[in-house]
Amino acid sequence: MSKSLVQFIIEEQRHIPGATGDFTGLLSDIEVACKQIAHAVNKGALIGVLGSAGSENVQGETQKKLDVITNEIFLKNNEWAGHLAAMASEEMDEIYPIPAQYPRGKYLLTFDPLDGSSNIDVNISVGTIFSILRAPEGVTNPKTEDFLQPGTKQVCAGYALYGPATMLVITTGHGVNGFTLDRDIGEFMLTHPNMQIPADTQEFAINMSNQRYWEAPVKRYIDECMKGKDGGREKNFNMRWVASMVAEVHRILTRGGIFMYPFDTKEAGKAGKLRLLYEANPMSFIVEQAGGASSTGRERIMELKPSGLHQRVPVILGSKNEVERVVSYHKGA
């Protein structure tokens, strides 16, 4: 019988000097939220949760009913236990301070409750992404700027993938471990210990329809992948694009690959599509902990000082040797 997530977290906690169980409690609350989201996503049309909510989020994107429902699930499961001082979500303009009727704790939680939700109505895998930061010392009434910490300050990052199997993948800075939901007992069980990304790959993931908007280094890299051995690379490449970052990252953790949502000139003022605090940073922490790399093309994503709660950044992550090749093309440009 493999280890449950709860047992794994408690055993992990023993490595953390001075651990009070606070962090373990927070991760357990997040786990329950992901189980409830898995249920809602799995039921889909049967419980009338598909389709548009008829509203827009801070990103100006039309919200799906499940965007709103899953955001509520995350808030309700994580606001009451006293582990958090505040939360921030892709689906909310402002931060969410823990309501006065609940105790406050020392952590901050950022999350994208349903990433890739444009896929939900066509039954393609979607996911939840979360990141845990410490509130600045002594801060019990956090402001937005208390969330604006570089990715290197994360104490934990993870995602839930609602696919053929529901999985939870997490890192606390000691490697990456994957758990599969056993619906018969309602527990996430350790099935993918110590996940590692191969340093090399033959698979790239990018939205090719944006090709005319890319910068020269990205155009060069993708052109070489497309030409393979006929264009100077030592191998031929395959392409994937699920339009669900969680699914792409999980594939890369499982068999290698490079995922790119680079800077493009498609919309003025948008540095990229993906959000730093609750997409790029948590996924970068996980990828780096699995031996991969994650860059904007010019800088290590985890070292960026965030300028805003919903800041977007270019993302190039995955197999170390391919990410480093793309970075070298940017240096040479």
Among 166, 244, 281, 284, binds ligand P6P (CB under 6 A): 244
Residue 115 near ligand P6P by CB under 6 A: yes
Q: Binders of ligand P6P: how many residues, by CB under 6 A?
A: 10
Whether the CB-CB separation of 81 and 302 falls below 8 Å is answered with no
Q: Which stretch binds ligand P6P (CB under 6 A): 1-9, 71-79, 238-246, 300-308?
A: 238-246
Among 273, 312, 320, 330, binds ligand P6P (CB under 6 A): 273
Toward ligand P6P, which CB reaches closer, 264 or 288?
264
Residues 196-235 that bind ligand P6P (CB under 6 A): 207
DSSP-derived secondary structure for 272-325: -SEEIIIIIHHHHHHHHHTT-EEESSSSBGGG----STT-EE-EEEESHHHHHH
Amino acid identity, position 110: T
Toward ligand P6P, which CB reaches closer, 233 or 240?
240
The pair of three-digit structure tokens given for residue 308, joined into one six-digit string: 């805003």
Residue 333 near ligand P6P by CB under 6 A: no
Residues with Cβ within 8 Å of 109's Cβ and at least 6 positions away in sequence, in order, are 26, 30, 78, 84, 86, 87, 88, 130, 131, 132, 133
Among 38, 89, 98, 116, binds ligand P6P (CB under 6 A): 116
Cα three-residue angle 298-291-107, rounded to 5 degrees: 80
Q: Which stretch binds ligand P6P (CB under 6 A): 40-48, 113-121, 221-229, 305-313?
A: 113-121
Measured from the CB of residue 10, what is the shortest distance to ligand P6P in angstroms? 32
Among 133, 167, 245, 293, binds ligand P6P (CB under 6 A): 245
Residue 4 near ligand P6P by CB under 6 A: no
Residue 238 near ligand P6P by CB under 6 A: no
The residue among 22, 160, 31 whose CA lies nearest residue 84 is 22
Q: Which stretch binds ligand P6P (CB under 6 A): 112-120, 224-232, 306-314, 320-328?
A: 112-120
Residue 158 near ligand P6P by CB under 6 A: no
The pair of three-digit structure tokens given for residue 287, joined into one six-digit string: 């990828």
Measured from the CB of residue 156, what is the shortest distance to ligand P6P in angstroms? 20
Measured from the CB of residue 248, what is the shortest distance to ligand P6P in angstroms? 6
CA 146 from centre of chain? 20
Residues with Cβ within 8 Å of 161's Cβ and at least 6 positions away in sequence, in order, are 125, 127, 167, 168, 169, 246, 247, 250
Measured from the CB of residue 194, what is the shortest distance to ligand P6P in angstroms? 25
Toward ligand P6P, which CB reaches closer, 76 or 255?
255
Q: Which stretch binds ligand P6P (CB under 6 A): 30-38, 79-87, 91-99, 242-250?
A: 242-250
Beta bridge partners of 239: 204
Toward ligand P6P, which CB reaches closer, 23 or 261?
261
Gyration radius of the chain's alpha carbons: 19
Residue 52 near ligand P6P by CB under 6 A: no
The pair of three-digit structure tokens given for residue 325, joined into one six-digit string: 């090749």
Whether the CB-CB separation of 29 and 81 falls below 8 Å is answered with yes
Whether the CB-CB separation of 107 and 134 falls below 8 Å is answered with yes
Measured from the CB of residue 125, what is the shortest distance to ligand P6P in angstroms? 10
Q: Give the interface with ligand P6P as residue ranges (CB under 6 A).
A: 115-116, 118, 207, 243-245, 261, 273-274
